[in-house]
Amino acid sequence: MSTTRPPAAVLCDELWRAVLEGSEYDAVDVVRAGLDAGWQEEDLLLDVVAAVQKRIGAEWAADRITVAQEHAATAINERVIAALAHRPAAGRPVPPHRGRVTVTCVDGEWHAFPARLVAEVLRLRGWQVDYLGAQTPTPHLVAHQHHTDSDAVLLSGSIPTHLPAAHAAITACQAVGVPVLAGGRAFGEDGRFARALGADGWAPDARGAAAALEAGLPRPTAVRQAVDDLPHLVDQEYTMVVRARSRLVRQVLTDLEARFPAMRGYDDAQRERTAEDLVHIVDFLATALYMDDAGVFTAFLGWTSEVLTARGVPVHSLATGLDILAEQLRDFPRGLRIVRAGAAALSGGAADVAVRGTAV
Amino acid sequence: MGDRGNESGSPGREVVGCARRVPVLVTPSPGSPPHPRNTDVRTGPTWKDAPYPVVVLDAKGTVADLNPPARLMLADHHDGGGPRGAVPAWLAAAHRSLTDEANVTPAVPPAAGAIGDRFFEAHPGPLTDEGVVWWLVEETGRRRAEASLHRAREQAETRAMVSSTLLASLNVPRCTEVATQLAAEHLADAALLVLPPVGRRHTVTHALRGGPAKHTTRQFDARDVPGLAEALQGFPPVPARWIDPGALPEWVVPEGFGGPVGSVIVAPLPGHGVSAGALILLRAAAEQAFTPDEEAFARLFAARAGTALSAARLYSEQSAITTTLMRELLPPTLESLHGVDYAGRYRAASDHERIGGDFYDVHPGADASQETFVVLGDVAGKGLEAAVLTGKIRNTLHALLSLASDHQQVLTLLNGALLSSHHTRFATLVLASVGREGRRVRLRLTSAGHMPPLIVRADGRVEEAATHGTLVGALPSVTVRTAEEVLEPGETCLLYTDGITEARGGPLGDELFGERRLRQALVECAGMPGEAIVERVQMLAAQWLGGGGHDDMAVLAISAPRTAPAGAGEDPRRDT
């Protein structure tokens, strides 16, 4: 059978075209044809559907498709997964025989696609999966653990600013005796943030997650609190920056307008965009404070400058914004260090980047 | 050597030698010279009279001299099995290290060890040619107190750990697993937890020490296990010594127990007023039988486990009731019907709830030629009470489905029903009747005091449906104006509640999300599938809120599919 199997690249191209055109039927046909040609469902999901999803994100970041196209393509891709999952019973894999797990996104996380893939792969491998999806409030996640007695929670996070919420979810699940396997970009390429937050395991991808589960995760016993994992939090810098977020944004905005006369001509929408960008900066600063890791902040600035360069966004000095922020953080030694590290990384990289960007 | 030797013979010389160096236990009499060096030890009390054991060991480590307490002490040592004439090994070792490294100051902490069933610390005097005088200070009491404190701390830690682990989960099977494993780990070689019978079957969880817990259900007579029937009925526990391990039925001894059972404890698990089950602890014959102390600890453990189990049972009973009652109040899962795509998303005001004062429903027409009836609404207030009223409204509307084509009549009847009920709340809602015409979707939209639906055109225009009207449940009559709209392929009509537009937050923290931002967001949504639009609107509102509080938020999209399969009209996805 596999001799006639078309290579992944061919299927990827076909699926990419279908999702870009928003043609659900063509997209579903591509994967069904793949199945008929001898592809395994798991390989189709991970080597074709996931690869196309990655391309959707990359094309959006490079400004080659619009946000609407990105959303539409993602929605079609999700329907492709559903079509694969809800095939007639004859084509389905064996019924669950391994154990029961919960797959969920961090509270506030809207990127459900990676979690969805993991859920389907685990189902294919014989796990009973409760998929809670995007934006799951931590209280729901914990209540679900009381209801179901999962063997593990698989927690997906894409955006680093959700790490504090991820930490709350990890400690809450462990407090009820359920181990947590973390995954997704938010936890760092090497999973270092998963370790820092005390997760019971980390997996780089869906196959890794399945392998970690099959190896078995021990039940956590000791009850911990956030500050046990991250003792630096007692300096209250994270708390105070989060509390003062709106005030900080307002202050930086006012000072920027004083220094850049052009900004005074901004209309409300432009002003709001700039304020939103400042919110992202402060949010990433807060996360860097939470993790005590300046890399979180500098990586965000680097990514932002790349996206902005791709969009040819007009230039205001991001560095000036950081300077003003630094002035506001006089009494915050850790915060100051992080902002300065960010400014240094920026001046070493892109010379002059605008105060713009979103953390989509 | 005689015990008078130091008074009359040559060994006395050694003592004098020692006495010069060691601060001898001498009670200086008034008028005694200030320096012991000048004291004539022969006339005053000597170390021989010291109340502590004192031993003089020579260079080879053999006893050169000793006082009466030391003699008694060493007698204990010999009675305890030590070789006659020898000092305990730990003292000999300390002596050797002292004599081997003459210039090194004695090790800190001082040498210490057991002699017989007592415990001593040994403090050496200075090393001389004749040997070393070892002063032995009894530490037995302190050691015992320390050991007992250590044991108590360990037990307290175990208890704290057991408590927090037991109370962690409110899931009954998980709770029994944890209790059984902990019992096997800390109390016995194997543990069984027997739950009260459901019908005639008991759920039994068993675990061997260090092993996983396994659940089984079996039918048996509790009276076959000595003490079990009593424990399950909440009678006082039968003492372990009364239970004959040989009388246990076979199923009680888990597979892999290895060897006969030596002793058994059957402890009741007292719940909140009723028995939560019973705990059976087994110890192998090769091990020591349960002591009364252990039996007391086992009962304490059982009490904690019983409380935890009982709480878990209460929780699961309550949540089963809640789930059943709430099922009807949860927003429905939407899908495509008669060639029209529907998508909805709901977020309750508080994160720990799933329902609130917003609601939506999609009632499909009997077939593709019939209109599908859609409603989205908002009851004044939030939380459970508002949710109960949404249930009433949804039921009433369901009953009025046969009249659904006449929006004015439906609203008038609903208004009457709400006015005559004991609820004092009112509601706003949007009704939509949806039908497919070729590739287009025809809509009739009626707002009763609600925000008019927004229509996202393929070219990015966002239009407001021209409908308005009075809310229901407040005034004696309802006046409304219905709007008719047509959706081309790829266009979406969005129904939403004010939780979206009145979300407060934003970059500066205190602004409303507002209709302008919603419309702006929808401009960017042109051509998106309905579910992507719904998700995006909820996402933008959530991000606008940041971490702030909010009202219930409901969004529902009615979309004309952009592409249609051959034979449009039938739902293409219902192919399973």
CATH code, domain carrying A38 = 1.10.1240.10
**Is the fold of B158-324 the same as that of B341-559?**
no
Say whether both A52 and A13 belong to one domain: yes
Do the Cβ atoms of A56 and A73 come closer than 8 Å? yes
A28 occurs within a structural domain? yes
Give the pLDDT confidence of B324-333 residue by residue, as tens digits. 888 888 889 9
Helix (H) or strand (E) holding A254: helix A245-259
- Show the tokens assigned to A152: 């593990």
Across the range B112-123, mean pLDDT stands at: 87
Tokens 């996640």 — which residue?
Answer: A141
pLDDT at A354 over 50: no
Tens of pLDDT, residue by residue over B373-406, are: 999 999 988 788 889 889 999 999 999 999 988 9
Q: What is the pLDDT of residues A315-349, one digit of tens each?
A: 456 778 888 999 999 889 999 999 999 988 887 75
Give the domain range for residue A4: 1-92
Q: Which two tokens stand for residue B529?
A: 């599938």
When mean pLDDT is compared across A102-111, A219-228, B527-536, the lowest value belongs to: A219-228
Chain B residues 519-548 with CB within 8 Å of chain A: 520, 524-529, 531-533, 535-536, 538-539, 542, 546
| pLDDT digits 0-9 by tens, B20-37 | 444 444 444 444 444 544
Closest residue of A to B160, CA-based?
A222
Instruction: For an interface test with B, give the residue of A113, A135, A249, A360 to mutate (most B CBs within 10 A).
Output: A135
Domain ranges of chain B: 5-138, 158-324, 341-559
pLDDT score recorded for residue B101 = 65
Shared domain for A47 and A8, answered yes or no, is yes
**Residue B180 pLDDT more than 70?**
yes
Query: CATH assignment of B158-324, given 3.20.20.70, 3.30.360.10, 2.70.70.10, 3.30.450.40?
Result: 3.30.450.40
pTM of the model: 0.80
Collapsing DSSP states into helix, strand and coil, what is residue A127? coil
pLDDT tens digits, one per residue of B241-270: 788 888 888 889 888 888 888 889 998 988
End-to-end CA distance of chain A: 41
Answer yes or no: are the C-beta atoms of B434 and B371 closer than 8 Å: yes
The model's pLDDT over A179-203, given as tens digits with 9 standing for 90+, comes to 999 999 999 999 999 999 999 999 9
Answer whether A76 touches B (CB < 8 Å). yes
What ipTM was estimated for this complex? 0.85
Asked if residue A239 and residue A222 are part of one domain, the reply reads no
Q: Are residues A224 and A312 in the same domain?
A: no
Q: How far is CA B394 from the centre of its chain?
A: 38
User: CB distance A146–B354 less than 8 Å?
Assistant: no
Q: Regarding beta strands B468-469 and B427-437, do their DSSP bridges make them parallel or antiparallel, or are they unpaired?
A: unpaired
The answer on A127 and A21 residing in a single domain is no
Co-location of A104 and A208 in the same domain = yes
Domain limit, last residue, from A62, A92, A122:
A92
A92, A122, A142 - which closes a domain = A92
User: Could you tell me if B204 and B216 are in contact, meaning their C-beta atoms sit under 8 angstroms apart?
Assistant: yes
Query: What digits encode the pLDDT tens for the residues B264-303?
Result: 999 898 887 788 899 999 998 877 888 888 888 888 889 8
User: How many angstroms separate the CA atoms of A47 and A49, rounded?
Assistant: 6
Q: Which two tokens stand for residue B89?
A: 């090994």
Does the pLDDT of residue A207 top 70, yes or no? yes
Q: Which CATH number does the domain B341-559 belong to among 3.60.40.10, 3.30.70.20, 3.40.630.10, 3.50.50.60?
A: 3.60.40.10
CB contact under 8 A, A176 and B178: no
Q: Which residues contact B418 (CB under 8 A, 6 or more apart)?
A: B393, B426, B427, B472, B473
Calculate the alpha carbon distances from B169 to A174, B123, B300 in Å.
Answer: 10, 55, 19
Instruction: Indicate whether B368 pLDDT > 50.
Output: yes
Q: Domain check: are A40 and A11 in the same one?
A: yes
Q: Which residues contact B395 (CB under 8 A, 6 or more apart)?
A: none
pLDDT value, residue B4: 42
Q: Which tens digit of pLDDT belongs to each residue from B422-449?
A: 777 889 999 999 999 989 999 999 999 9
Are A275 and B539 an interchain contact pair (Cβ–Cβ within 8 Å)? Answer: no
Q: Is residue A103 part of a domain?
A: yes
CB B204 within 8 A of CB B191: no
**pLDDT at residue A50, rounded to an integer:** 92
User: Do A210 and A239 belong to one domain?
Assistant: no
- The phi, psi pair for B275, rounded to 5°, reads -70, 130
**Helices and strands of chain A, counted as H and E runs:** 17, 5
Residue B479 has pLDDT above 80, yes or no: yes
Facing residues of B135 across strands?
B54, B123
- 8-state DSSP, B125: -
* DSSP helix/strand/coil, A328: helix
**The pLDDT of residue B11 is above 60:** no
> Same structural domain for residues A156 and A261?
no
Q: Is A91 on the interface with B (CB under 8 A)?
A: no
Q: Does residue A356 lie in a domain region?
A: no
- For B326-363, write each residue's pLDDT tens digit: 888 888 999 889 999 999 999 988 877 888 899 999 99
Q: Is residue A360 a part of any domain in this protein?
A: no
Question: Does one domain contain both A73 and A123?
Answer: no
State the alpha helices, DSSP H only, in B28-139: 68-79, 89-100
Q: What is the dihedral of CA A217, A223, A226, A230, to 10 degrees?
A: -70
| Residue B246 CB coordination number (10 Å) | 7
Q: For an interface test with A, give the residue of B324, B351, B537, B545 to mutate (most A CBs within 10 A).
A: B351
Q: What are phi and psi of B378, to 5 degrees?
A: -145, 120
Does one domain contain both A108 and A84?
A: no
Which pLDDT belongs to residue B571?
Answer: 44
The more confident residue out of B323 and B496 is: B496
Residue whose C-alpha is closest to residue B194's, from B205, B183, B185, B184: B205
User: What pLDDT shows up at residue B97?
Assistant: 82
Domain boundary (A68, A92, A116) is at A92
The structural domain count of chain A equals 3
Asked if B215 reaches chain A (Cβ–Cβ under 8 Å), the answer is no
Residue A345: DSSP 8-state: H
Same structural domain for residues A48 and A151?
no
Q: Is residue A61 part of a domain?
A: yes
Tell me what the pLDDT averaged over chain B comes to. Answer: 84
| Cβ-nearest to B352 among A76, A139, A249 | A139
Q: Do the Cβ atoms of A250 and B535 come within 8 Å?
A: no
Give the span between the Cα atoms of B485 and B465, in whole angstroms.
Answer: 7
CATH code for the domain of A139: 3.40.50.280
Q: Where does B5-138 sit in CATH, by number?
A: 3.30.450
Q: Which 317-376 residues of chain B touch chain A by CB within 8 A? A: 319, 347, 351-352, 354
Residues in chain A: 360
Residue type for position B471: L
Residue B17 has pLDDT above 50, yes or no: no
Q: Testing the interface with A: which of B169, B309, B531, B540 to mutate, by most A Cβ within 10 A?
A: B169
Whether the per-residue pLDDT at B150 is higher than 90: the answer is yes
Tens digits of per-residue pLDDT, B405-428? 899 999 999 999 988 887 778 899
Q: What is the pLDDT, as a whole number, of residue B527?
A: 84
Question: CA-CA distance, A117 to A125, in Å (whole number)?
Answer: 12
